[in-house]
Protein backbone atom coordinates (compact mmCIF):
# COMPACT_ATOMS: atom_id res chain seq x y z
CA UNK A 1 0.00 0.00 0.00
CA UNK A 2 1.29 3.42 -1.01
CA UNK A 3 2.16 5.89 1.76
CA UNK A 4 0.51 9.28 1.86
CA UNK A 5 1.90 12.20 -0.12
CA UNK A 6 5.34 13.49 0.84
CA UNK A 7 5.57 16.14 -1.92
CA UNK A 8 7.57 19.14 -0.78
CA UNK A 9 6.63 21.70 -3.47
CA UNK A 10 3.03 21.82 -4.61
CA UNK A 11 0.35 24.44 -5.06
CA UNK A 12 -2.90 23.32 -6.67
CA UNK A 13 -6.37 24.84 -6.27
CA UNK A 14 -9.54 22.82 -6.82
CA UNK A 15 -13.20 23.73 -6.34
CA UNK A 16 -15.39 20.93 -4.98
CA UNK A 17 -19.07 21.15 -6.00
CA UNK A 18 -21.70 18.53 -5.20
CA UNK A 19 -25.39 17.68 -5.36
CA UNK A 20 -26.49 20.42 -7.74
CA UNK A 21 -29.67 18.49 -8.68
CA UNK A 22 -30.20 20.36 -11.94
CA UNK A 23 -33.78 20.15 -13.17
CA UNK A 24 -35.32 19.90 -9.71
CA UNK A 25 -38.76 21.56 -9.89
CA UNK A 26 -38.99 21.50 -6.12
CA UNK A 27 -42.59 21.60 -4.89
CA UNK A 28 -43.61 21.66 -8.59
CA UNK A 29 -42.44 25.25 -9.17
CA UNK A 30 -40.46 26.25 -12.26
CA UNK A 31 -38.76 29.03 -10.30
CA UNK A 32 -37.07 26.37 -8.16
CA UNK A 33 -35.69 24.71 -11.28
CA UNK A 34 -34.16 28.10 -12.15
CA UNK A 35 -32.82 28.44 -8.59
CA UNK A 36 -30.94 25.14 -8.81
CA UNK A 37 -29.46 26.21 -12.14
CA UNK A 38 -28.49 29.63 -10.75
CA UNK A 39 -26.72 28.02 -7.77
CA UNK A 40 -24.65 25.85 -10.12
CA UNK A 41 -23.85 28.87 -12.29
CA UNK A 42 -22.78 30.76 -9.18
CA UNK A 43 -20.50 27.88 -8.18
CA UNK A 44 -18.84 27.89 -11.60
CA UNK A 45 -18.36 31.66 -11.33
CA UNK A 46 -16.50 31.12 -8.04
CA UNK A 47 -14.19 28.64 -9.78
CA UNK A 48 -13.41 31.20 -12.47
CA UNK A 49 -12.91 34.03 -9.96
CA UNK A 50 -10.53 31.88 -7.93
CA UNK A 51 -8.71 30.78 -11.10
CA UNK A 52 -8.74 27.16 -9.93
CA UNK A 53 -6.79 24.40 -11.62
CA UNK A 54 -9.81 22.10 -11.77
CA UNK A 55 -13.38 21.60 -10.60
CA UNK A 56 -14.60 18.29 -9.18
CA UNK A 57 -18.26 17.35 -8.83
CA UNK A 58 -19.13 14.47 -6.52
CA UNK A 59 -22.44 13.35 -7.98
CA UNK A 60 -26.11 14.20 -8.51
CA UNK A 61 -25.30 16.80 -11.13
CA UNK A 62 -28.85 16.17 -12.36
CA UNK A 63 -31.87 15.49 -10.16
CA UNK A 64 -33.12 12.51 -12.18
CA UNK A 65 -31.77 9.81 -14.48
CA UNK A 66 -33.80 11.34 -17.31
CA UNK A 67 -33.15 15.11 -17.31
CA UNK A 68 -34.96 17.19 -19.90
CA UNK A 69 -33.18 18.51 -22.97
CA UNK A 70 -33.42 22.11 -21.67
CA UNK A 71 -31.74 21.01 -18.42
CA UNK A 72 -28.94 19.28 -20.34
CA UNK A 73 -28.42 22.30 -22.59
CA UNK A 74 -28.44 24.60 -19.57
CA UNK A 75 -25.76 22.46 -17.94
CA UNK A 76 -23.63 22.55 -21.10
CA UNK A 77 -23.96 26.34 -21.29
CA UNK A 78 -22.82 26.73 -17.67
CA UNK A 79 -19.89 24.32 -18.05
CA UNK A 80 -18.84 26.03 -21.28
CA UNK A 81 -17.77 28.98 -19.14
CA UNK A 82 -15.13 26.75 -17.53
CA UNK A 83 -14.05 25.34 -20.89
CA UNK A 84 -13.48 28.88 -22.21
CA UNK A 85 -11.22 29.60 -19.22
CA UNK A 86 -9.29 26.36 -19.66
CA UNK A 87 -10.55 24.94 -16.34
CA UNK A 88 -11.31 21.20 -16.53
CA UNK A 89 -14.50 19.85 -14.95
CA UNK A 90 -14.35 16.31 -13.55
CA UNK A 91 -17.32 14.42 -12.22
CA UNK A 92 -18.73 11.14 -10.96
CA UNK A 93 -22.24 9.71 -11.21
CA UNK A 94 -24.63 10.10 -8.27
CA UNK A 95 -27.52 7.90 -7.23
CA UNK A 96 -30.20 10.27 -8.57
CA UNK A 97 -28.84 10.33 -12.14
CA UNK A 98 -27.33 6.83 -12.32
CA UNK A 99 -28.22 4.82 -15.43
CA UNK A 100 -27.18 1.27 -16.30
CA UNK A 101 -24.92 1.92 -19.28
CA UNK A 102 -23.77 5.27 -20.64
CA UNK A 103 -24.22 8.19 -18.29
CA UNK A 104 -25.08 11.82 -18.93
CA UNK A 105 -21.53 12.67 -17.91
CA UNK A 106 -20.47 10.74 -21.01
CA UNK A 107 -22.69 13.00 -23.10
CA UNK A 108 -21.14 16.08 -21.48
CA UNK A 109 -17.72 14.63 -22.20
CA UNK A 110 -18.58 14.27 -25.89
CA UNK A 111 -19.74 17.89 -25.79
CA UNK A 112 -16.23 18.80 -24.59
CA UNK A 113 -17.27 20.34 -21.27
CA UNK A 114 -16.67 17.53 -18.73
CA UNK A 115 -14.73 14.34 -18.02
CA UNK A 116 -15.48 11.39 -15.75
CA UNK A 117 -13.16 10.45 -12.93
CA UNK A 118 -12.32 6.75 -12.70
CA UNK A 119 -10.23 4.33 -10.65
CA UNK A 120 -7.23 5.34 -12.78
CA UNK A 121 -5.50 8.57 -11.71
CA UNK A 122 -6.19 11.87 -13.47
CA UNK A 123 -3.14 14.04 -12.84
CA UNK A 124 -3.48 17.77 -12.16
CA UNK A 125 -0.35 19.96 -12.41
CA UNK A 126 1.73 16.78 -12.32
CA UNK A 127 1.20 16.82 -8.55
CA UNK A 128 -2.37 15.80 -7.65
CA UNK A 129 -3.92 12.43 -8.55
CA UNK A 130 -7.72 12.56 -8.83
CA UNK A 131 -9.83 9.39 -8.67
CA UNK A 132 -13.57 8.75 -8.82
CA UNK A 133 -15.97 5.96 -7.96
CA UNK A 134 -19.59 6.36 -9.09
CA UNK A 135 -22.44 5.87 -6.61
CA UNK A 136 -22.84 2.21 -5.67
CA UNK A 137 -26.33 0.91 -4.90
CA UNK A 138 -26.57 -0.52 -1.41
CA UNK A 139 -27.35 -4.12 -2.55
CA UNK A 140 -24.19 -4.10 -4.71
CA UNK A 141 -21.89 -2.57 -2.10
CA UNK A 142 -20.20 -5.70 -0.72
CA UNK A 143 -19.38 -7.02 -4.19
CA UNK A 144 -18.31 -3.65 -5.62
CA UNK A 145 -14.68 -3.26 -6.60
CA UNK A 146 -13.32 -0.21 -4.79
CA UNK A 147 -9.60 -0.80 -5.39
CA UNK A 148 -7.97 2.02 -7.35
CA UNK A 149 -4.73 2.15 -9.32
CA UNK A 150 -1.43 3.24 -7.80
CA UNK A 151 -0.65 6.91 -8.47
CA UNK A 152 2.69 8.31 -9.61
CA UNK A 153 5.18 8.66 -6.78
CA UNK A 154 4.85 11.66 -4.45
CA UNK A 155 1.44 12.81 -5.70
CA UNK A 156 -1.39 14.00 -3.49
CA UNK A 157 -4.24 11.48 -3.82
CA UNK A 158 -7.87 12.65 -3.80
CA UNK A 159 -10.80 10.24 -4.27
CA UNK A 160 -14.32 11.43 -5.16
CA UNK A 161 -17.29 9.29 -4.08
CA UNK A 162 -21.07 9.60 -3.72
CA UNK A 163 -22.05 7.60 -0.64
CA UNK A 164 -23.38 8.14 2.88
CA UNK A 165 -20.37 7.24 5.04
CA UNK A 166 -19.97 7.28 8.81
CA UNK A 167 -18.15 9.36 9.77
CA UNK A 168 -18.77 12.19 8.78
CA UNK A 169 -22.48 11.31 8.34
CA UNK A 170 -24.24 10.45 11.61
CA UNK A 171 -24.41 6.69 12.06
CA UNK A 172 -28.21 6.62 12.00
CA UNK A 173 -28.20 8.09 8.47
CA UNK A 174 -25.09 6.41 7.04
CA UNK A 175 -25.15 3.36 4.80
CA UNK A 176 -21.52 2.29 5.11
CA UNK A 177 -18.48 2.89 7.29
CA UNK A 178 -15.62 5.12 6.22
CA UNK A 179 -13.08 2.58 7.50
CA UNK A 180 -14.58 0.01 5.11
CA UNK A 181 -13.74 2.30 2.19
CA UNK A 182 -10.22 3.02 3.42
CA UNK A 183 -9.59 -0.70 3.79
CA UNK A 184 -10.80 -1.51 0.26
CA UNK A 185 -9.32 1.23 -1.94
CA UNK A 186 -5.91 -0.49 -1.87
CA UNK A 187 -3.78 2.66 -1.54
CA UNK A 188 -3.20 5.25 1.16
CA UNK A 189 -5.39 8.24 0.39
CA UNK A 190 -4.67 11.82 1.34
CA UNK A 191 -8.29 12.95 0.94
CA UNK A 192 -11.82 11.85 0.05
CA UNK A 193 -14.33 14.37 -1.35
CA UNK A 194 -17.89 13.14 -0.90
CA UNK A 195 -21.37 13.79 -2.24
CA UNK A 196 -24.89 12.60 -1.30
CA UNK A 197 -25.10 14.23 2.14
CA UNK A 198 -26.43 17.77 1.72
CA UNK A 199 -24.75 19.44 4.68
CA UNK A 200 -21.09 20.56 4.77
CA UNK A 201 -19.37 18.24 7.22
CA UNK A 202 -15.89 16.71 7.57
CA UNK A 203 -13.58 14.49 9.59
CA UNK A 204 -10.09 13.01 9.60
CA UNK A 205 -9.68 9.24 9.66
CA UNK A 206 -6.32 7.42 9.68
CA UNK A 207 -4.62 10.57 8.40
CA UNK A 208 -7.10 11.00 5.53
CA UNK A 209 -9.18 14.18 5.31
CA UNK A 210 -12.80 13.37 4.44
CA UNK A 211 -15.64 15.84 3.86
CA UNK A 212 -18.94 16.67 2.20
CA UNK A 213 -19.24 20.00 0.39
CA UNK A 214 -23.03 19.88 0.81
CA UNK A 215 -25.65 20.66 -1.82
CA UNK A 216 -25.67 23.94 -3.73
CA UNK A 217 -29.42 24.46 -3.13
CA UNK A 218 -31.80 23.37 -0.38
CA UNK A 219 -33.45 20.12 -1.37
CA UNK A 220 -35.62 20.14 1.76
CA UNK A 221 -37.01 22.64 4.23
CA UNK A 222 -35.00 20.80 6.92
CA UNK A 223 -31.72 21.83 5.28
CA UNK A 224 -31.36 25.05 7.21
CA UNK A 225 -27.65 25.94 6.97
CA UNK A 226 -26.34 28.12 4.13
CA UNK A 227 -25.46 26.25 0.94
CA UNK A 228 -21.80 26.09 -0.04
CA UNK A 229 -18.94 24.75 -2.12
CA UNK A 230 -15.46 23.80 -0.91
CA UNK A 231 -12.29 25.55 -2.11
CA UNK A 232 -9.29 23.25 -1.81
CA UNK A 233 -5.69 24.47 -1.75
CA UNK A 234 -2.95 21.83 -1.79
CA UNK A 235 0.43 23.28 -0.95
CA UNK A 236 3.53 21.20 -0.21
CA UNK A 237 1.38 18.13 0.41
CA UNK A 238 -0.92 19.95 2.84
CA UNK A 239 -4.61 20.41 2.12
CA UNK A 240 -6.44 23.54 3.25
CA UNK A 241 -10.21 23.48 2.80
CA UNK A 242 -12.35 26.64 2.83
CA UNK A 243 -16.13 26.64 2.81
CA UNK A 244 -17.51 29.25 0.38
CA UNK A 245 -21.17 30.11 0.97
CA UNK A 246 -23.59 30.60 -1.92
CA UNK A 247 -26.29 33.26 -2.21
CA UNK A 248 -29.47 31.20 -2.54
CA UNK A 249 -33.17 31.87 -2.13
CA UNK A 250 -34.12 31.97 1.58
CA UNK A 251 -36.62 29.58 3.16
CA UNK A 252 -39.28 30.55 5.70
CA UNK A 253 -41.16 28.12 7.93
CA UNK A 254 -44.62 29.04 9.24
CA UNK A 255 -46.67 27.08 11.76
CA UNK A 256 -50.47 27.58 11.76
CA UNK A 257 -52.40 25.81 14.53
CA UNK A 258 -56.16 26.01 14.14
CA UNK A 259 -58.54 25.85 17.07
CA UNK A 260 -62.26 25.21 16.73
CA UNK A 261 -63.37 28.73 15.78
CA UNK A 262 -60.36 29.84 13.73
CA UNK A 263 -60.95 30.76 10.10
CA UNK A 264 -59.30 32.55 7.18
CA UNK A 265 -58.61 35.77 9.11
CA UNK A 266 -56.64 33.81 11.69
CA UNK A 267 -54.54 32.18 8.96
CA UNK A 268 -53.87 35.56 7.37
CA UNK A 269 -52.77 37.03 10.71
CA UNK A 270 -50.32 34.14 11.16
CA UNK A 271 -48.85 34.63 7.68
CA UNK A 272 -48.50 38.39 8.13
CA UNK A 273 -46.35 37.82 11.21
CA UNK A 274 -43.57 36.68 8.83
CA UNK A 275 -41.70 38.27 5.93
CA UNK A 276 -42.26 36.00 2.94
CA UNK A 277 -41.26 38.20 -0.03
CA UNK A 278 -39.51 36.11 -2.71
CA UNK A 279 -38.92 33.26 -0.25
CA UNK A 280 -39.65 29.55 -0.36
CA UNK A 281 -42.31 29.24 2.34
CA UNK A 282 -43.07 25.94 4.04
CA UNK A 283 -46.31 26.02 6.01
CA UNK A 284 -47.23 23.34 8.54
CA UNK A 285 -50.91 23.28 9.44
CA UNK A 286 -52.07 21.52 12.61
CA UNK A 287 -55.01 21.50 14.99
CA UNK A 288 -58.74 21.36 14.33
CA UNK A 289 -60.31 20.93 10.90
CA UNK A 290 -61.76 24.11 9.44
CA UNK A 291 -63.18 25.58 6.26
CA UNK A 292 -59.72 26.90 5.38
CA UNK A 293 -58.08 24.47 2.93
CA UNK A 294 -54.45 23.86 2.03
CA UNK A 295 -55.09 25.57 -1.31
CA UNK A 296 -56.48 28.63 0.50
CA UNK A 297 -53.33 28.89 2.60
CA UNK A 298 -51.07 28.40 -0.42
CA UNK A 299 -52.79 31.19 -2.35
CA UNK A 300 -52.71 33.42 0.74
CA UNK A 301 -48.94 33.02 1.09
CA UNK A 302 -48.31 33.58 -2.63
CA UNK A 303 -50.51 36.70 -2.57
CA UNK A 304 -48.26 38.06 0.18
CA UNK A 305 -45.24 37.86 -2.15
CA UNK A 306 -43.73 34.41 -1.65
CA UNK A 307 -42.01 32.87 -4.66
CA UNK A 308 -42.93 29.33 -3.64
CA UNK A 309 -45.33 27.86 -1.09
CA UNK A 310 -45.53 24.27 0.13
CA UNK A 311 -48.29 23.44 2.60
CA UNK A 312 -48.13 20.36 4.80
CA UNK A 313 -51.59 19.88 6.28
CA UNK A 314 -51.37 17.62 9.32
CA UNK A 315 -54.92 18.12 10.45
CA UNK A 316 -55.74 14.71 8.96
CA UNK A 317 -52.26 13.17 9.49
CA UNK A 318 -48.79 14.04 8.18
CA UNK A 319 -48.18 14.54 4.47
CA UNK A 320 -45.52 12.40 2.82
CA UNK A 321 -43.28 13.79 0.09
CA UNK A 322 -40.98 11.16 -1.46
CA UNK A 323 -39.11 13.82 -3.45
CA UNK A 324 -37.06 14.88 -0.42
CA UNK A 325 -33.37 13.95 -0.45
CA UNK A 326 -31.34 11.95 2.06
CA UNK A 327 -31.41 14.74 4.64
CA UNK A 328 -35.08 15.51 4.06
CA UNK A 329 -38.14 14.12 5.74
CA UNK A 330 -38.14 10.82 3.87
CA UNK A 331 -35.62 9.05 1.69
CA UNK A 332 -36.13 8.69 -2.07
CA UNK A 333 -38.06 5.71 -3.42
CA UNK A 334 -34.91 4.28 -5.06
CA UNK A 335 -32.98 4.48 -1.80
CA UNK A 336 -35.77 2.72 0.10
CA UNK A 337 -35.88 -0.05 -2.52
CA UNK A 338 -32.10 -0.48 -2.39
CA UNK A 339 -32.19 -0.65 1.40
CA UNK A 340 -34.74 -3.46 1.31
CA UNK A 341 -32.85 -5.35 -1.40
CA UNK A 342 -29.60 -5.14 0.59
CA UNK A 343 -31.32 -7.16 3.30
CA UNK A 344 -32.11 -10.00 0.85
CA UNK A 345 -28.48 -11.03 0.21
CA UNK A 346 -29.04 -11.22 -3.56
CA UNK A 347 -26.34 -12.45 -5.91
CA UNK A 348 -24.39 -9.94 -7.96
CA UNK A 349 -26.18 -10.84 -11.19
CA UNK A 350 -29.60 -10.62 -9.50
CA UNK A 351 -28.72 -7.16 -8.19
CA UNK A 352 -27.59 -5.98 -11.64
CA UNK A 353 -30.72 -7.28 -13.37
CA UNK A 354 -32.98 -5.72 -10.71
CA UNK A 355 -31.34 -2.33 -11.19
CA UNK A 356 -31.59 -2.63 -14.97
CA UNK A 357 -35.32 -3.41 -14.73
CA UNK A 358 -35.82 -0.46 -12.37
CA UNK A 359 -33.70 2.12 -14.16
CA UNK A 360 -33.63 1.14 -17.86
CA UNK A 361 -36.43 1.18 -20.40
CA UNK A 362 -37.78 -2.40 -20.75
CA UNK A 363 -39.67 -1.38 -23.92
CA UNK A 364 -36.44 -1.02 -25.88
CA UNK A 365 -35.70 -3.88 -28.26
CA UNK A 366 -32.23 -4.41 -26.81
CA UNK A 367 -33.46 -4.84 -23.24
CA UNK A 368 -34.01 -8.61 -23.35
CA UNK A 369 -30.76 -9.13 -25.25
CA UNK A 370 -28.80 -7.22 -22.62
CA UNK A 371 -30.32 -9.19 -19.75
CA UNK A 372 -29.61 -12.45 -21.62
CA UNK A 373 -26.00 -11.32 -22.12
CA UNK A 374 -25.63 -10.57 -18.40
CA UNK A 375 -27.00 -14.00 -17.43
CA UNK A 376 -24.75 -15.75 -19.95
CA UNK A 377 -21.66 -13.98 -18.67
CA UNK A 378 -22.58 -14.86 -15.09
CA UNK A 379 -23.03 -18.52 -16.06
CA UNK A 380 -19.66 -18.53 -17.80
CA UNK A 381 -17.89 -17.03 -14.79
CA UNK A 382 -19.54 -19.49 -12.41
CA UNK A 383 -19.08 -22.67 -14.47
CA UNK A 384 -15.90 -21.67 -16.34
CA UNK A 385 -17.59 -21.99 -19.74
CA UNK A 386 -16.99 -19.98 -22.96
CA UNK A 387 -18.94 -16.70 -23.09
CA UNK A 388 -21.05 -17.53 -26.16
CA UNK A 389 -24.62 -16.33 -26.28
CA UNK A 390 -27.08 -18.98 -25.15
CA UNK A 391 -29.48 -20.39 -27.72
CA UNK A 392 -33.14 -19.92 -26.84
CA UNK A 393 -34.80 -23.03 -25.46
CA UNK A 394 -37.31 -24.78 -27.75
CA UNK A 395 -40.76 -25.37 -26.36
CA UNK A 396 -41.78 -29.01 -25.81
CA UNK A 397 -43.97 -30.42 -28.53
Predicted pLDDT at 395: 40
Task: Name the nearest CA neighbour of 158 among 317, 13, 372, 316.
Answer: 13
* pLDDT of 346 over the 80 cut: no
Q: How confident is the model at residue 363 (pLDDT cuts 50, 70, 90)?
A: low
Note whether 238 and 256 are same-domain residues: no
Note whether 159 and 230 are same-domain residues: yes
pLDDT digits (tens, 9 = 90+) for 167-195: 999 999 999 999 999 999 999 999 999 99
Asked if residue 140 belongs to a domain, the reply is yes
Asked if residue 4 belongs to a domain, the reply is no
Phi/psi at 16 (nearest 5 deg)? -100, 115
Number of compact structural domains in the chain: 3
Q: How confident is the model at residue 101 (pLDDT cuts 50, 70, 90)?
A: confident
Comparison of pLDDT for 370 and 90, the residue scoring more: 90
Asked if residue 5 belongs to a domain, the reply is no
Asked if residue 275 belongs to a domain, the reply is yes
Out of 96, 162, 176, 198, which one is annotated catalytic? 96
Asked if residue 259 belongs to a domain, the reply is yes
Note whether 299 and 200 are same-domain residues: no
274 counts as catalytic: no
Asked if residue 359 belongs to a domain, the reply is yes
Task: Name the nearest CA neighbour of 226 among 236, 218, 237.
Answer: 218
Query: What domain range is 346 assigned to?
Result: 333-383
Note whether 47 and 140 are same-domain residues: yes
pLDDT digits (tens, 9 = 90+) for 28-81: 999 999 999 999 999 999 999 999 999 999 999 999 999 999 999 999 999 999
Asked if residue 2 belongs to a domain, the reply is no
Report the 10 Å Cβ neighbour count for 353.
17
Task: Name the nearest CA neighbour of 264 among 238, 293, 231, 239.
Answer: 293
Asked if residue 3 belongs to a domain, the reply is no
Q: How confident is the model at residue 327 (pLDDT cuts 50, 70, 90)?
A: very low
Note whether 131 and 196 are same-domain residues: yes
* pLDDT of 264 over the 50 cut: yes
Note whether 116 and 190 are same-domain residues: yes
The 3-class SS string of 383-395 reads HCCCCCCCCCCCC
Note whether 165 and 292 are same-domain residues: no
154 to 35, 148, 150, 234: CA distances (angstroms): 41, 16, 11, 13
Note whether 191 and 285 are same-domain residues: no
Note whether 236 and 129 are same-domain residues: yes
Amino acid sequence: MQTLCTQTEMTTTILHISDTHLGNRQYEYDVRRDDFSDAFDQSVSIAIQEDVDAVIHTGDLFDTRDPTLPDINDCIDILSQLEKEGIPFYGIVGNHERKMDEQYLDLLSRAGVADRLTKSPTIINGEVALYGIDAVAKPAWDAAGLAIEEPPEDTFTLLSMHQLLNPPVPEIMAEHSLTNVLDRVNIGLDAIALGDYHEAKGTVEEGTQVWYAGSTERCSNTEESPRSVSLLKIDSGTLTRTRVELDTRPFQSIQIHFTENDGFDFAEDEVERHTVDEKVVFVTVTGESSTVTSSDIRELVLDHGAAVCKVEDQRSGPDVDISEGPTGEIQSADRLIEKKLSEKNLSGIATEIEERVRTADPSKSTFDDKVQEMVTEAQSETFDEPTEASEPMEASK
